Amino acid sequence: MSFEIEITGLVKRFGTNTVLDGIDLCLQPGERVAIIGPSGTGKSTLLRCLNYLDRPEEGVIRVGDLTVDAARARNADVLALRRRTGFVFQNYALFANKTARANITEGLTTVRGWSKDKARARADDILAQIGLADRGDSYPAALSGGQQQRVGIGRAMALGADLLLFDEPTSALDPEWVGEVLDLIRRIAEGRQTMMIVTHEMQFAREIADRVVFMEGGRIVEQGPPEQLFGRAQDDRTRAFLRRVG
């Protein structure tokens, strides 16, 4: 079951630098939202706060009946939120000493508390879905960048999260591996998985997203359907950014 996701008043500071300055955003079940904007404007930090990899100073995150308030979040709240959100890192973040299969089963046994046999069966199913059924016993060093990122995506898929968070999933890839990763994300999106994707691939954002959000200076400047944002942006900052990225 998918749930509505609501972000209210999210603030994140690093020292005296305010990186997120009161973010409000709501996602409907099955909605796919692409986040675009200049480097250093808080896009990745927003995703990291939603999974509490970075802890926000202020704000409330609600996923269905789960509400996490930064002012009073307990460890149990953070763990519950992480069970409902899957994170795909731009640099794969795989365990180098674990096989592809073990990288996927790790979260199932430690976060979900599944038995090893149940987790292994789920991992093998995921490996087949991501086109790596024959590489379950391979270690990350023996996989291409594209294959490693597919394992990273498979690890997030395996948890059955309500919200998948993709942080620049192709930025660390050589050009020849970008297509296979984007194709996998497209297939996941076709299943109406609720997702947020920070991306610099404008054409991909245009194709996959139900809504595109433009951020600058730690704030949401403008948002709307891809055809509106890319074709009829209302804010000068949005138009200037889109001209620069061409």
Those residues whose C-beta lies under 8 Å from the C-beta of residue 34, and which sit 6 or more positions away, are: 196, 197, 198, 199, 204, 205, 208, 209, 211, 212, 213, 226
Mean pLDDT of 23-46: 97
Residue 172's pLDDT is: 85
Compute the mean pLDDT over every residue in the chain, rounded to the nearest whole number. 95
Q: What's the whole-model pTM score?
A: 0.93
Mean pLDDT of 167-184: 91
Can you tell me the distance from the alpha carbon of 116 to that of 108, in angstroms, rounded to the nearest whole number? 9
Residue 208's pLDDT is: 92
What domains appear along the chain, each with residue ranges and CATH number? 5-245 (3.40.50.300)
Residue 244 Cα distances to 77, 124, 141, 204, 237, angstroms: 41, 43, 36, 17, 11
* Chain segment 86-119, per-residue pLDDT in tens: 999 999 999 999 999 999 999 999 888 999 999 9
